[in-house]
Every structure is written in C-alpha cells, then in structure tokens.
Amino acid sequence: MKCMYCGFMESKVVDSRPSEDGRNIRRRRECLNCGRRFTTYEYIETTPILVIKNDGTRQPFDANKIRNGIIRSCEKRPVALHDIDKLVSDIEKRVYNTLEQEIHSSKIGEYVMDGLKELDQVAYIRFASVYRQFRDVTTFIDFISDIEKD
C-alpha cells in the first residue's frame, strides 16, 4: 500500500479489525520508509447491478437512493434510523442475491413496500402513494381498504 505521506510503496499492518457494520475491514498501517501511520479500508468487490427504470433507462444500483426514500416516508414517525438501515441492508442483500446484473425498479419498489409494511403502516402508505402514483382519491381509498383487510 502506497504511503499517503511519502509515496513509499511498502507498509506493514499494525492493527486490523472489522468495521461496525461488518462490511469492510479497517487496517492501521505504518510506512516502512517514514514511519507515519495511516488507515485503509478493505471492501468486498461487488459486481455492478443496473436498475432498469420505468422509462427504460438504466443506472447503477444505489442503496443510498433507497435509504433516502425510506427516510422521507418515515419522516415524523417513531422509526429508528437503525431500523431503516437494517431494512436498506436487507433490500440490498435481496438485490444482490438475485444474481442478475439488471433489476427492474418496480421489483426494488416491491422490496421496499414489503419492508415498510412490517416497519410502519403510515410510512408504508406514504411510500405507496408516491410509488404507485395514485391517479385519484378512489384508487387511494381502495388501496387503504385492501390494507385494512390484511
């Protein structure tokens, strides 16, 4: 690993530990030339997944977009950020476990709705109202009636 201070190409690992979420390894290194210490992170390399949008365009999968949408749905609701992060992580796992290189945004939306339904009913309805793009009040009322039946 190249030293960020002097550019020397060799260093030794002084300390190594998993991060809090367990998705990467934090390594403390010491340069063999100048002796200064620096931190590096080791991540699992993943195959990029493309999301097929409703208009047919494709863009890279980004779990942060899902997280932001869920946070907006849970605004002013008693939902802990930890629970939101767990839901995003679960959705991300489901997306990568499909073993496909492309996934439709509608499938991701269904994953989010399934998770929100268990997490918070109001957040679920908020997300559904944007995701399903209800055309009128009657369609929205029918949707809520279906929820009550469940």
pLDDT per residue as tens digits for the range 31-83: 999 999 999 989 887 788 999 999 999 999 999 999 999 999 999 999 999 99
Q: Cα torsion at 91, 98, 106, 49 (round to 10°)?
A: 90
User: In one letter, which amino acid is 125?
Assistant: I
Looking at the structure, do residues 39 and 90 belong to the same domain, yes or no? no
Using the predicted structure, report yes or no on whether residue 10 has a pLDDT greater than 90. yes
If pLDDT is split at 50, 70 and 90, which confidence band does 23 have? confident
Bridge partners of residue 59, in order along the sequence: 51
Looking at the structure, do residues 30 and 65 belong to the same domain, yes or no? no
Looking at the structure, do residues 81 and 127 belong to the same domain, yes or no? yes
Looking at the structure, do residues 69 and 139 belong to the same domain, yes or no? yes
Looking at the structure, do residues 89 and 24 belong to the same domain, yes or no? no
Looking at the structure, do residues 135 and 62 belong to the same domain, yes or no? yes
Domain count, the chain: 2
**95's tokens:** 């997306």
Q: Would you say residue 3 lies in a domain?
A: no
Side-chain half-sphere exposure of 126, counting CA atoms within 13 A: 15
Looking at the structure, do residues 85 and 112 belong to the same domain, yes or no? yes
Bridge partners of residue 50, in order along the sequence: 60, 102
Structural domain including 117 reads: 50-149
CA distance 116 to 93: 16
Q: What is the SS3 assignment for 54?
A: coil
Please count the other Cβ atoms lying within 10 Å of the Cβ belonging to residue 40: 15
> What is the pairing mode between strands 24-31 and 37-43?
antiparallel
Looking at the structure, do residues 24 and 57 belong to the same domain, yes or no? no
Q: Would you say residue 17 lies in a domain?
A: yes
Q: Would you say residue 87 lies in a domain?
A: yes
Looking at the structure, do residues 99 and 33 belong to the same domain, yes or no? no
> What is the pairing mode between strands 24-31 and 58-60?
unpaired
Q: What percent of the chain has pLDDT over 90?
A: 68
pTM metric for this prediction? 0.66
Of 47, 46, 83, 84, whose CA–CA distance to 66 is shortest? 84
